[in-house]
Structure 1
Amino acid sequence: MISVQTWSDAQLLWDFQQMRHDPQPCSVGIGLGSHDLGVADATVNLYQRGMFPLILFTGATSRTTRDRMPRGEAEHYRERALELGVPASAILVEPRARNTGENINFARELLAERSVEVSSVLLVSKPYEERRAYATARRLWPGVAIVSASAPMTLSEYVDSMKDPRLVLDMLVGAQQRLLVYPEQGFMIRQEVPDSVAAAYERLCAEGFTSRLVSAN
């Protein structure tokens, strides 16, 4: 059983990760690969609303996607976008990235190779990784305006869609930890973390939601 306090702490992390940017037209929409095919759906929705003329999906596979997305996260995203009516000519696929930093760097390289001029990016991620994606892009892609977006879902709705509450809480804790340790390693910009969020993170770690933590060294 997951306690009421644990759900309350998870909600604090969920709310903090959401940037609440208003989507606006950008040069390109970049869908960050993951286990969540909903990222592809959210990217397509923004494309169909006229937020960008070009989609770039980026992502290889990870321990959570190698079985469900054997052809690679970006490729499965592309297939989903085609099913939803996006023309193939409007989709680029970057199939090598295995973390958020590589998502950004490899996407940037591919766009340069294709001579796509980029002044702004609408970055689409899982709902609980908006802030992490934003902070990473700000560090690795200076001079480009970054707008962060995700599927508009509550924590409860997301847990129901994933059908694995513990996985979602572990991922939330992992995303929060990266906001704390990655700025020191030069992977993202530093952002102020409210005391209430920091305390919630510590309690969730103490409860054992730690399978997605990385070494802080």
Structure 2
Amino acid sequence: MVCGSIRSMTSTETGRGLDLFREGDFPLSTLTFVRDLPPAELLTRMGVDPETLALRDAMHLSDDLGDDLFDDEEPVVTSGIDGSWTWAWEQGGVHGLDERILSHVSVGTEAVVLHYNEKPMHWFKYAVGGEIIVDFHTLQAIEPEGRDPARLDDVMRPLGLIPGQVAPLHSVLALVENAFDIRLRQPDDVDDECWSGRLLPLPD
């Protein structure tokens, strides 16, 4: 997970911002990145159960929420800051992909969602001020949608992310790194704490 246990998942000490997800083994993950928003505020906007919201290290995360870590209806989420972006990581859920949640977390700022599953596919969404600007997935040839689906073309095309074509391996990770300077790297200390909690079920 995070909060100190990333070090056991990859030997990479330096490299690109999301190398953890090129080299680690994460069958499903949903990462929500929001610019300049405190972690507790991000989790609150995502719908965390307030009774579960707390600062925890890896041991306390396992003790308190370990049984539900991969739950898909009420997923455990952890959050921290890397650079100018605050991240929220679900290893069992897809709350970040929900347009209602993405719109809410991006109010007054911008947000990027990066989802991966074993189909295999990536799903990318970019929102600004409550509006979904770009939205596409790689299960088939990409077809960007959203309010301005061509907004990121200048960054996407050099990476092979071209409408009507199949996305090259790891190209979506590179898009997130290159377009937004986003990174999520292992902590300096195994005892580092981060905000975490259990997300409430998505409304119907």
The two structures have a TM-score, normalised by structure 1, of 0.27
Higher helix share: 1
User: Greater share of strand residues, 1 or 2?
Assistant: 2
More relative contact order in 1 or in 2 (CA 8 Å, sep 6+)?
2
Q: Structure 2 length normalisation: TM-score?
A: 0.28
